């Protein structure tokens, strides 16, 4: 049975090495978590910069790490 994923939006705060980012979640608690880039974003050379709004997939067992699955347009 597949485990459930939580999808939420976030804001890129800091760019770390090796495709890792520190992301501020857009929830009530304003948590900052570590995220890595998904394979499709890495494969298509999509650039993620500071200030970008992204969609994040969180595992229900570990909510301190996530995966960036989509980059939304800047406004």
pLDDT digits (tens, 9 = 90+) for 22-44: 999 988 778 899 999 999 999 99
Q: What is the pLDDT of residue 73?
A: 76
Question: Residue 14 has which token pair?
Answer: 């800091």
Residue holding tokens 């969609």? 55
- Averaged pLDDT of the chain: 90
Where in the chain does DSSP place strands (E)?
A: 5-15, 20-25, 32-37, 53-59, 65-71
Q: Say what the pLDDT of residue 30 is.
A: 81
User: How many percent of the chain have pLDDT more than 70?
Assistant: 96
Residue 19, by phi and psi: left (phi above 0), alpha (psi -120 to 50) or beta? left
Are 52 and 37 contacting, i.e. CB atoms less than 8 angstroms apart?
no
Full-prediction pTM beyond 0.75? Answer: yes
Domains and CATH numbers, the chain: 5-71 (2.40.50.140)
């Amino acid at each position: 049975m597949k485990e459930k994923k939580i999808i939420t939006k976030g804001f890129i705060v800091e760019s770390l090495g090796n495709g890792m980012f520190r992301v501020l979640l857009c929830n009530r608690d304003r948590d900052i978590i570590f995220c890595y880039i998904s394979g499709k974003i890495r494969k298509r050379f999509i650039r993620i910069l500071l200030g970008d709004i992204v969609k994040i997939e969180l595992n229900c067992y570990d909510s301190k790490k996530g995966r960036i699955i989509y980059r939304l347009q800047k406004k």
